[in-house]
Amino acid sequence: MLGHDTLVGPNYTLGDSASIIDLVLPHDEEGSINRDVFKIDFVAKMRAGESGSGVFMRTREDGKEEEVFLAYGPLRTWTVDPVNASDFSAGVVANDTHVYSIGFGITVEDLILPFTQVESQVVRDLDKVKWVSLALILVSVCCVLYMTYKMCFYISQPVLVLISIVKSIERKQLPDELPKLPGGSVEIYDVYDSLEKLCKIVRFTDAVSNCCRLVSFLLAALSC
């Protein structure tokens, strides 16, 4: 901006004369709060050659208000002016001259739009990770339960077979062949071998006892 006129702006070309307030706040009435705030906090500082940034409110074409972020700064240059125009020998003096100020504005909604899109993408990715993690946890739990079941079966079934053999020995109702062990550790197989030997001894003892009873019966019959 130069003086009070906008040099270049949206839909404006160089040479068009329009107040920066009318350009930036076209839908706000003269004397409105939005125009007064913009004039005091931004326009006055830009005319004074200051730099800065801030947010102001303006009315949109549909009547709703929106926030606009504006960053501005001056363009300055050094000029050389004569000390005395009628006396060249008097020399010159250098002055820091404010040529114009330039500002870049964007609505806050457009400013945060990329971050909003990133947030939405992050939320979607987190949802995917959540469901994948839940599926992995369920699969892990099922695997642990299955392994626990197999371990319990591997440990308990041989023990149950050994208990049934011991009970058969106690009842003297030994099967012709001992049931096979469905797995088990080395110690369990050692106990199984010991019980197998014990069953053989018990069978042999029963056979001898039966033979003795048979011989006694025969001898008693012969003596009669």
User: Hey, is 81 helix, strand or coil?
Assistant: strand
More confident residue, 90 or 77: 77
Give the residue-averaged pLDDT of 45-49: 87
What per-residue confidence (pLDDT) applies to 8? 58
Q: In the β-sheet with 65-82, what is the strand arrangement from edge to edge?
A: 52-59, 65-82, 92-107
Is the pLDDT at 14 greater than 90? The verdict is no
Whole-angstrom distance, CA of residue 172 vs CA of residue 178? 13
Give the residue-averaged pLDDT of 19-37: 87
What per-residue confidence (pLDDT) applies to 133? 92
More confident residue, 180 or 15: 180
- pTM for this model (two decimals): 0.48
What per-residue confidence (pLDDT) applies to 132? 92
More confident residue, 220 or 105: 105
| 3-state secondary structure labels for all residues of 171-197 | HCCCCCCCCCCCCCCHHHHHHHHHHHH
Question: Confidence class of residue 116 from pLDDT cuts 50, 70 and 90?
Answer: confident
Is the pLDDT at 69 greater than 60? The verdict is yes
Is the pLDDT at 31 greater than 90? The verdict is no
pLDDT, tens digit (0-9, with 9 covering 90-100), for 206-218: 777 778 877 777 7
Q: Are 78 and 96 in contact (CB under 8 A)?
A: yes
More confident residue, 78 or 192: 78
Question: Confidence class of residue 54 from pLDDT cuts 50, 70 and 90?
Answer: very high
Whole-angstrom distance, CA of residue 173 vs CA of residue 184? 24
User: Hey, is 93 helix, strand or coil?
Assistant: strand
What per-residue confidence (pLDDT) applies to 139? 94
- For 220, half-sphere exposure in the C-beta direction (CA atoms, 13 angstrom radius) is 6
Q: Identify which of 156, 167, 38, 150 has the alpha carbon closest to the alpha carbon of residue 105.
A: 38
